[in-house]
Amino acid sequence: MADNARAKRLADLIREVVAQKLQRGIKDPRLGSHVTITDTRVTGDLREATVFYTVYGDDEERAAAAAGLESAKGVLRSAVGAAAGVKFTPTLTFVADALPDTARTIEELLDKARASDEKVREVSAGATYAGEADPYRKPDEDEDEDDSAE
């Protein structure tokens, strides 16, 4: 089993090689400039690599990019093997990165929270306290009450 530093270096190399090959070497129109390689992870035995990518566009373009990456997998693996110089070139698996969807969901939740906070501010704008503004007793008030009790 390889050490983690070697797996990390190989993952970084795979990410760079795949990104450069997609940008310059692959002529598939489905893999235009709207595909971005975001991360790469390699297993400890250096046999399998997972390449995470994002696609700028709608669901149809995402599906087309996924099909394009699957068809270019052999060419990309060959490029990685030539650049890496390792005994066994890792098999590549392409996974759509969920980060943009997660970020969009978080933004929507934050927008809902801001709207809710604004509603609370509007409702509480003219509100007054149910009792006194300061509900706590002060030491000088306690002495006055003790004197009047005698």
Residue 14 lies in a domain: yes
- Coil, strand or helix at 44: coil
Provide the token pair at 15.
Answer: 């990410």
In sequence order, which residues have a C-beta less than 8 Å from that of residue 31 and are 6 or more positions away? Answer: 22, 65, 68, 69, 72
Domain containing residue 41: CATH number: 3.30.300.20
Residue 28 lies in a domain: yes
Residue 87 sits in which domain range?
3-97
Digit-by-digit pLDDT tens for the chain (150 residues) are 557 888 899 999 999 998 888 888 778 777 777 888 889 999 888 889 999 998 887 888 888 888 888 888 888 888 888 888 888 989 999 998 888 778 889 999 999 999 999 998 888 888 777 777 777 877 876 565 555 555
Residue 46 lies in a domain: yes
Measured distance CA(70)–CA(16) in Å, rounded: 18
- Domain count within the chain: 1
Residue 127 lies in a domain: no
Residue 135 lies in a domain: no
Provide the token pair at 51.
Answer: 């390449």
Nearest to 97, CA basis, from 48, 62, 47: 62
